[in-house]
Structures are given as structure tokens and as C-alpha cells.
Amino acid sequence: MARLNTPSPVVKTSACPCGSGKALAECCGPYLAGEAHAESAERLMRSRYTAFTLEAYDYLRATWHPEHCPSDLGPDDPPPRWLGLRILASSAGGPDDDQGTVEFVARYKIGGRAHRLHERSRFIRLEGHWVYVDGTFPATRTTN
């Protein structure tokens, strides 16, 4: 398996950015380091969020369906500061599936302004490994 470049230094004992409550080294770290493949669509989703927070663009490219990955994927200027990930729902995307969807909310700040990304992401298994295809943006529910 080809090793991917990860930004260094990555503090392996720090809490994983995906919010699992586990250490990075016991959560998304091995995926980003190319030591393991995410075994489910939701695991891949979490690891890609972590990759965004760590600006691990090689990993994002490697886990993006080649026909959908933007060619200009790279650091945003100014870079967003990622605040947290919440998985709302996931369907299929397990060991016996070839596709799956994960709905999530990711919160981030750009230049001091808070944003909220609510996306339903589509994943497929490509040559045995989960990749991100694309996403739709469910209408934000009205909350009282």
C-alpha cells in the first residue's frame, strides 16, 4: 500500500478531530497514514473530516472518486478553522455494501465568521475501498 504524505508533526496522542472521543492514533490516524482503509462509509467520512482539519490533501484526493475530485483541491485562503463534526444519519455503507450515504453537520469558521455545512454525502466502494462521490445539501430544517 502506498504511503500517503501526512502533515507533520501530527500529535498522535491528541484527541481525534472527528470527535469520536478516541486518540487520533486509535481513530482516523492510521487511515490518513495509509496504514489502513476505512471499513465503512461512516469511518471514511470521519477520516475525511479529520483530513480537512489537518489539511491532508493527499488523503482527501486518495479517498475521492477520481471522476469527482476537484483538480484544484488544496489549501483554502484563508484556511477554515474546523470546529466539530456531528453525524446525523448513515445508511448502508457497511462491510457488505457497495454504496452508502452519511448525513452530517460540520461547523467551521472562516475569518472569524461561523459556518455550518449540512451535507448528505454519497460513498461507493471502488476496487474494494470506500471513496467519496459527491454530496447533496438537505434543506435546513426549521427549528423552533
Cβ-based nearer residue to Zn ion, 18 or 106? 18
- Judged on CB neighbours under 10 Å (0-12, 13-18, 19+), 87 is middle
Q: For residues 114 and 120, what is the distance between their CA atoms, to the nearest angstrom? A: 20
Least gap, CB of 82 to Zn ion (angstroms): 12
Cβ-based nearer residue to Zn ion, 27 or 45? 27
Least gap, CB of 66 to Zn ion (angstroms): 24
Q: Write out the residues near Zn ion by the rule CB under 5 A.
A: 16, 18, 20, 27-28, 46
In the numeric block, the cell 459556518 is attached to 115
Cβ-based nearer residue to Zn ion, 29 or 140? 29
- Is 44:122 a contact under the CB 8 Å cutoff? no
Least gap, CB of 67 to Zn ion (angstroms): 27
